[in-house]
Amino acid sequence: MDNESKAESATNVALKLIDQENVVAIIGPNSSKQAVPAGGTCNDNRVPMISPWSTNPNTTLDRPWIFRAAFLDPFQGPVVADFAAKKFDAKTAAVLFDVSNDYSKGLAEIFKSSWEAKGLGPVVAFESHGTKDQDFSAQLTTIVKANPDFIFVPDNYNQVALIIQQARDLGYKGPFMGSDAWGTPDLIKLCGDECYGNFFSTHYAAAGAKGATKIFIDRYEKNTEPLRLTTQPSPGTPSASWLKPSRTLARSYPTPWKCVSSSVKVCPPSSPLTASPVRPSSTHRVTRSNALLSSRSATRANSSSKNLSARRLQV
């Protein structure tokens, strides 16, 4: 059933499925904005609900009947902060987020607190907008005047396209960093060339890959050679392996999954944490890799080791 991408509709749909359709379980909603309220309704009625990619902790927090198949934002935020600081050599950051969206607002706050707690520098602008806004010029003018080294935008892809285009029109030439809500080919269709060269964090797991992803993995492994580490990891720490492709270095860390939060209900098998730039193509798949995230990021975040990758939109 369609929840119209609205929080109140998600609650109504959940009640209809439970009371009228007599369902025994619900898959979805996807977005945290709808999954948080729908999860409360399902939990109150003792009907299992699984959200495929809601990352806000409140979706499952203290709700034994609610599950997720994604990492949490308390994990995503710190990793994004570390990645941006290293990749952009950033000393300052700015944030633009949707104040009416639980996902966007929650991740923005987690990123800001993580950036500051790590001593990476000041967040020089922390601006918000509404879900239905299409003109972001006022917020972007404030951000551009603050002269950040990059702008973090944990928004949905349709908003991102407008934000990036309007920022460029205002003269901003720096990079953008996004979150997993950017992860759709539709972003390129809406944004065009303006989106190329930016990065976003997203979910990734090589195990069980099919189609174009499997073809890429096979080609990548065929054209890489392992390199030995000069130092051995201490006992009890994740092992690490270096891979050397023809043009760039990539690093993957087989990291064991840990359920460290009451809001995590399902523990998948371990798999690597990776950072990968992405070149848009007909399938918009990963085409080469870049070692920019570390397992230490996940350890410092004290959060789950669900796979997180950073993808680059590149011509």
Give the fold, CATH level 3, of 73-206+240-313.
Rossmann fold (3.40.50)
79 — pLDDT class (breaks 50, 70, 90): very high
d(CA 32, CA 262): 17
Mean pLDDT of 136-161: 97
Task: Give residue-wise pLDDT tens across range 161-174.
Answer: 999 999 999 999 99
- Would you state the torsion angle of the CA atoms of residues 78, 43, 183, 212, taken in this order, to the nearest 10 degrees? 120
Does the pLDDT value for residue 296 go beyond 90? no
Q: Give me the residue spans of the domains in the chain.
A: 7-68, 73-206+240-313
Helices (H), 239-309: 295-301
Length of the chain: 315
Q: Give the model's pLDDT for residue 1.
A: 86
Query: Could you tell me the pLDDT band of residue 10, with boundaries at 50, 70 and 90?
Result: very high
Eight-class DSSP state of 185: T
The reported pLDDT for the residue numbered 311 is 57
Contact 127, 95 (CB under 8 A): yes
- Please report the pLDDT score of residue 310 as a whole number: 58
Looking at per-residue confidence, does 3 or 84 come out higher?
Answer: 84
182 or 286, which is more confident: 182
Q: How far is CA 221 from CA 230, 242, 252, 289, in A?
A: 22, 12, 12, 12
Give the percent of the chain with pLDDT over 90: 57
**Residue 94 confidence class, pLDDT cut points 50, 70, 90:** very high
Q: What is the pLDDT of residue 156?
A: 93
Residue 207 has a pLDDT of: 82
Burial-class residue 93 by CB neighbours within 10 Å (0-12, 13-18, 19+): buried
Can you give the pLDDT at residue 225?
A: 63
* Terminal alpha carbon distance of the chain: 38
Q: Which residue did the predictor score with more confidence, 255 or 179?
A: 179
